[in-house]
A and B are shown apart, each in its own frame.
Chain A
């Protein structure tokens, strides 16, 4: 029986893995976020500080969705969506990270990706 892989296959295997690891390192070496912004159908319905633990409930299309903040991280807990992808996605903390329950129409993102602390945009964001 012939070998399952040749040299070109192994080059693709190693090259693509290195690319994925490089991308992961680049994306995850980001500062932690300060706030969790909860949106429903593109409208912001709740903003939570990640600096203290709390739990809030928002109304999703399929029923209530719990937003839980703990240890500087946030997650959503939906109970009525078909595959519970949002819940199974787990905790997020990095600026720009997001978790969504598409059937519920609920999206939670960690704010802080757009501007560094010294940028004037940062203060505009807080003032809003």
Chain B
């Protein structure tokens, strides 16, 4: 159940989507950390949306980020856009699966009891890269040799999943004590 009333929910989705798009653009402008490797910090805001408002809100933030980010970068409907879309779809599906994983009280007592932001972030990050590699194999490269690079991609995703999960946890902690949500309780 959402912690927020409807207008505040939409406002928070808008804030998070704007922050995600801004981070997406900033990351695109920065030099890469290695071939085919991006920190994916924008996904932090998708995680915050998931833990604050649930799966649908997270899917909304992710979709807005991919669409608006691609429009701003001029890559809409390019291969990069579709890779991004496939990755985001995989991550959102992983978030949906994480909703059902309820084994113990989470660090942040919100949807997905059992897994906290770090665990959910790792799963989403791994699903993100697996879907991107599948899309690259199906639509761009067409050769199964791309899967030989999968362990490196997965390792990068694992690391960024942990970092993004910790960042999401810190944001959620701040949000929990913020005036924005205080009036809703």
Residues of chain A at the chain B interface (Cβ within 8 Å): 1-13, 16-17, 20-21, 23-24, 27-28, 42, 83, 85, 88-89, 94, 96-98, 100, 102, 107, 109-110, 113
A/B interface sample: 23 pairs, CB < 8 A: A2-B108, A4-B118, A4-B165, A4-B166, A4-B169, A7-B104, A8-B114, A9-B116, A12-B122, A13-B118, A13-B122, A16-B122, A16-B126, A17-B158, A23-B150, A24-B151, A24-B152, A24-B155, A85-B36, A94-B148, A96-B148, A100-B141, A109-B143
Question: How far is B141's CA from A100's CA once the two chains are assembled, in angstroms?
Answer: 8
Question: How far is B126's CA from A83's CA once the two chains are assembled, in angstroms?
Answer: 23
Q: Which residues of A contact B158 (CB under 8 A)?
A: 16-17, 20
Q: Which residues of B contact A4 (CB under 8 A)?
A: 107, 116-118, 165-166, 169-170
Tell me, yes or no, whether B100 is within 8 Å of chain A by CB: no
- Contact partner of B107 among A5, A11, A88, A107, CB < 8 A? A5
Tell me, yes or no, whether B140 is within 8 Å of chain A by CB: yes
Question: How far is B147's CA from A91's CA once the two chains are assembled, in angstroms?
Answer: 16
The answer to whether A6 touches B104, judged by C-beta atoms less than 8 angstroms apart, is yes
Q: Contacts A20-B155, A23-B154; is A12 near B145 (CB within 8 Å)?
A: no
Which residue of the partner chain B has the closest CB to A5? B118
Residues of chain B at the chain A interface (Cβ within 8 Å): 32, 34-36, 79, 101, 103-108, 114-119, 122-123, 126, 140-152, 154-155, 158, 162, 165-166, 169-170, 173
The answer to whether B79 touches A102, judged by C-beta atoms less than 8 angstroms apart, is yes
Question: How far is B165's CA from A13's CA once the two chains are assembled, in angstroms?
Answer: 11
Known: A97-B149, A98-B141, A107-B143. 4 other contacts (CB 8 A): A8-B115, A11-B119, A89-B36, A110-B145
Q: Which residues of B contact A98 (CB under 8 A)?
A: 141, 143, 145-146, 148
Which residue of the partner chain A has the closest CB to B176? A2
The answer to whether A2 touches B126, judged by C-beta atoms less than 8 angstroms apart, is no
Question: How far is B152's CA from A82's CA once the two chains are assembled, in angstroms?
Answer: 22
Q: Which residues of B contact A83 (CB under 8 A)?
A: 32, 35
Question: How far is B145's CA from A97's CA once the two chains are assembled, in angstroms?
Answer: 5
- Contact partner of B173 among A2, A10, A12, CB < 8 A? A2
- Contact partner of B141 among A5, A9, A23, A107, CB < 8 A? A107
